[in-house]
Chain A
Amino acid sequence: MGFSKDHLLARLQELQIDYSKYEHPPVLTVEEQAKYVSSSEGALSKNLFLKDKKNRYYIVSAMTDTKVDMKVLSQRLGLGKGGIRMAPEEALSELLQVSLGCVTPFAVVNESARDVSLLLDQKFKNQTRCIFHPLSNDVSISLNTLGLDKFLQSIGRDSVYIDLEANPVVGKDQPPDLAVYVPSNSVVVPELPTKTASIQTASKNVSAEKTKPVASAKPSKLAGNVKSAVEDSALLVFKNPEKFVEEILDKTTALLLSEGKGENVEALAETFRKRLTSEFTHLAVMYKNTAYSQGFYAGTQSQPKRP
């Protein structure tokens, strides 16, 4: 298996790279991550794992509000207009050895990712700190780009920062400006049947329902797939007692982790009541409504008792 998050964090400490760590429930989207890691800790990043038609792979890591135009990026890399797309899920597990929702610059620490090109948003350099997943989507770390650079150097890589929003003309007399960052080697990722891919990618915190096949999806579709995966699991919360309890405990422990520093127990209990009562009541009402509706439907389908 690849580098684990603990392995990575230990390596950062060895290199005396300063970082802050935030633990939270596993998150699949930036929006979710934003709930647990406030922007005062650093700039959140969105991380794309891309592949071109010649089986070369790229990680693009950007500020969340940077517009990444896939067409423009593809041209600047010299791949033509539609030359780049989201990498399939098997590539995520085979090359980066991380799970869905976990793409991160740190993934290049793995030997399997030696041919993956890492492109970083130059806007990161203006930030005091930036936030990435350290190979696991239930932790986020914030660190300065100098720290990231130091880490990349230690594994023999140069940091590549580019202006992701630039849209230079690419033509006969204007060569593609990012072509130099296209990997020299292509990688063939064995195409696994979807079932095996799910088992391989399921990290300990991602339940089976959340993992959906993502083969060759366009960026907006990927976001849509991840979002619908999150919404399907929302439905389950209201139908399944275990998921319901899990959701309540997730929210409670998240609040405990964020508020529980040094507060006395009584004050903490008050905070819990105040912050959680209305949210949990809402959850419970939806749970009740779901149960009633299922019963109501069953009632319409049931046959009258035999006399």
Chain B
Amino acid sequence: MEVDKKEEIASDSSEQVVNPWEVSAKDGGKIDYDKLIDQFGCQRLDESLIDRVERLTSRQPHVFLRRGVFFAHRDFDLVLDAYERGDKFYLYTGRGPSSEALHLGHLIPFMFTKYLQEAFKVPLVIQLTDDEKCMWKNLSVEESQRLARENAKDIIACGFDVTKTFIFSDFDYVGGAFYKNMVKVAKCVTLNKAMGIFGFSGEDHIGKLSFPPVQAVPSFPSSFPHLFPGKDKLRCLIPCAIDQDPYFRMTRDVAPRLGYSKPALIESTFFPALQAKNGKMSASDPNSAIYVTDTAKDIKNKINRYAFSGGQDSIEKHREIGANLEVDIPVKYLSFFLEDDAELEHIKKEYGEGRMLTGEVKKRLTEVLTGMVERHRMARAAVTEEMVDAFMAVRPLPNMFE
């Protein structure tokens, strides 16, 4: 049984707030992930699970697993058990297309999902919640649809395989079997429960209230009759950032009542803003983030000027005490994106003990990020309108488990 937290939405600033629409730490400090796991009731992703993944996929686990970026889960062990027995699963992730500008924080779940698709050889559905953004950000229907398509291009550029991936926008796809499931889910959640989970109030319009089932039902294979006909017991694994947990707590609560399997989750920490003080990277502050459209020069400038450094004020002091790795942003970013474990350890040691200076760490980070953004740009340039149409076409995927 999921723990029902009535005091979920603590608008008290002395508590940290984590929900799909707001992420802020306690008293402007750091997010306490242990407390979050406790509060939400999910599990830590421990070493043994990571080792299992390595064994089952015969390849090195993704850097995000090795570094604890994806750190929590629900039922991931059950998914692996089933996989070992030969029962496959499908992946489900999504994006709320609120802006054209995508930053590196947005790419993280997609980079990880791509790895999962390749490593486990499973299909994937990607939901673009244009309706959600239309309602919450007060965009016009046309604008949110346009943004959804533009975002789809950046998502495709992450390297998903078109023969195993279905991308859909809510405005295009809701209806038929998908809508039937939405109604089934909606019948199981009272207004009071929804208000408790999501913090809705009497002032919110009814569009918002009716949205959660839209994000819930892609967890059920029967929502996609063109993809999974007759596979009603197929499991679903959802890679997402931990702020999305409330939607899926609700979904997991409802699933057994509908005779469906509960979706499993694998959850990530937030990607910190460059200046560190905000809870996570925000699309509304251009200097808090590195965008996929940034030039090499932009990246270098942003890192040099805005990346919060844990180095000491003077070189002498730095050589004596070393850097504060806890708050240093460049090292944090490198832990997300620098593939080579040995190199990262070396940097942490040398920088933490004062032998390496901030400038050098920032330089390495700039190299790594510039490489990533360049590769993304090249791939993005190759995404044509036809390719988007192909990914979004309601078509069968006959080779989805190959």
Interface residues of A (CB under 8 A from B): 31, 34-35, 64-65, 231, 234-235, 237-238, 279, 281-282, 285-286, 288-290, 292-294, 296-297
Whether A290 touches B387, Cβ cut-off 8 Å, given contacts A279-B375, A282-B375, A296-B393, is yes
- Pairs across A and B, CB under 8 Å, 18 listed: A34-B296, A231-B378, A234-B381, A234-B382, A237-B378, A237-B382, A286-B379, A288-B161, A289-B156, A289-B390, A290-B384, A290-B387, A292-B390, A293-B162, A293-B387, A294-B386, A296-B393, A296-B395
A293 and B378: CB pair below 8 A? no
Whether A289 touches B386, Cβ cut-off 8 Å, given contacts A281-B118, A296-B393, is no
Whether A285 touches B160, Cβ cut-off 8 Å, given contacts A31-B296, A34-B296, is yes
- When C-beta atoms are compared, the residue in chain A nearest to B165 turns out to be A289
In whole angstroms, what is the CA distance A237 to B390 when docked?
20
A293 and B390: CB pair below 8 A? yes
In whole angstroms, what is the CA distance A268 to B391 when docked?
38
B297 interface residue, CB < 8 Å from A? yes
Q: Is the interface of B mostly helix, strand, loop or mixed?
A: helix
B41 interface residue, CB < 8 Å from A? no
A282 and B296: CB pair below 8 A? no
**Shortest beta-carbon distance, B226 to chain A, in Å?**
15
B13 interface residue, CB < 8 Å from A? no
Binary flags per residue of B283-295, CB closer than 8 Å to A gives 1, else 0: 0000000000001
- Count of inter-chain pairs, beta carbons less than 8 A: 63
A296 and B389: CB pair below 8 A? yes
B378 and A234: CB pair below 8 A? yes
B278 interface residue, CB < 8 Å from A? no
Known: A286-B157, A289-B156, A290-B387. 20 other contacts (CB 8 A): A31-B295, A31-B296, A35-B374, A65-B297, A231-B377, A234-B381, A235-B382, A237-B382, A281-B118, A285-B160, A286-B379, A286-B382, A288-B162, A289-B162, A292-B162, A293-B384, A293-B387, A293-B389, A293-B390, A296-B393
B163 interface residue, CB < 8 Å from A? yes
- List of 6 A-B pairs having minimum Cβ-Cβ separation, nearest first: A293-B387, A296-B390, A293-B390, A231-B381, A238-B382, A289-B162
Which chain B positions have C-beta within 8 A of A234?
378, 381-382
Which chain A positions have C-beta within 8 A of B389?
293, 296-297
Which chain B positions have C-beta within 8 A of A64?
297
Whether A282 touches B379, Cβ cut-off 8 Å, given contacts A292-B390, A296-B389, is yes
In whole angstroms, what is the CA distance A248 to B295 when docked?
24
Which chain A positions have C-beta within 8 A of B379?
282, 286
Whether A297 touches B386, Cβ cut-off 8 Å, given contacts A31-B296, A282-B379, is yes
In whole angstroms, what is the CA distance A144 to B46 when docked?
54
In whole angstroms, what is the CA distance A231 to B375 when docked?
12
The 8 Å CB contact of B163, one of A281, A286, A288, A297, is: A288
In whole angstroms, what is the CA distance A273 to B162 when docked?
25
Which chain A positions have C-beta within 8 A of B297?
64-65
**Shortest beta-carbon distance, B380 to chain A, in Å?**
9
Give the size of the chain B interface in residues (CB under 8 angstroms): 26
Which chain A positions have C-beta within 8 A of B382?
234-235, 237-238, 286, 290
In whole angstroms, what is the CA distance A303 to B395 when docked?
18
Which chain B positions have C-beta within 8 A of A290?
382, 384, 387
In whole angstroms, what is the CA distance A293 to B297 when docked?
34
Interface residues of B in 331-388 (CB under 8 A from A): 374-375, 377-379, 381-382, 384, 386-387
- When C-beta atoms are compared, the residue in chain B nearest to A292 turns out to be B162
B159 interface residue, CB < 8 Å from A? yes
Which chain A positions have C-beta within 8 A of B118?
281
Which chain A positions have C-beta within 8 A of B390?
289, 292-293, 296-297
B387 and A282: CB pair below 8 A? no
- When C-beta atoms are compared, the residue in chain A nearest to B379 turns out to be A286
In whole angstroms, what is the CA distance A4 to B160 when docked?
45
A289 and B387: CB pair below 8 A? yes
In whole angstroms, what is the CA distance A31 to B297 when docked?
9
Whether A286 touches B375, Cβ cut-off 8 Å, given contacts A34-B296, A235-B382, A297-B390, is no
**Shortest beta-carbon distance, B190 to chain A, in Å?**
44
In whole angstroms, what is the CA distance A231 to B389 when docked?
21
Which chain A positions have C-beta within 8 A of B159?
281-282, 285-286
Which chain A positions have C-beta within 8 A of B374?
31, 35
- When C-beta atoms are compared, the residue in chain B nearest to A64 turns out to be B297
The 8 Å CB contact of A292, one of B163, B295, B296, B378, is: B163
In whole angstroms, what is the CA distance A65 to B301 when docked?
10
Which chain A positions have C-beta within 8 A of B160?
285, 289
In whole angstroms, what is the CA distance A193 to B16 when docked?
67
Which chain A positions have C-beta within 8 A of B378?
231, 234, 237
- When C-beta atoms are compared, the residue in chain B nearest to A38 turns out to be B367
**Shortest beta-carbon distance, A26 to chain B, in Å?**
16
In whole angstroms, what is the CA distance A259 to B3 when docked?
55
In whole angstroms, what is the CA distance A219 to B210 when docked?
52
In whole angstroms, what is the CA distance A107 to B382 when docked?
35
**Shortest beta-carbon distance, A209 to chain B, in Å?**
13
**Shortest beta-carbon distance, B77 to chain A, in Å?**
27
Which chain A positions have C-beta within 8 A of B386?
293-294, 296-297
The 8 Å CB contact of B381, one of A235, A279, A289, is: A235
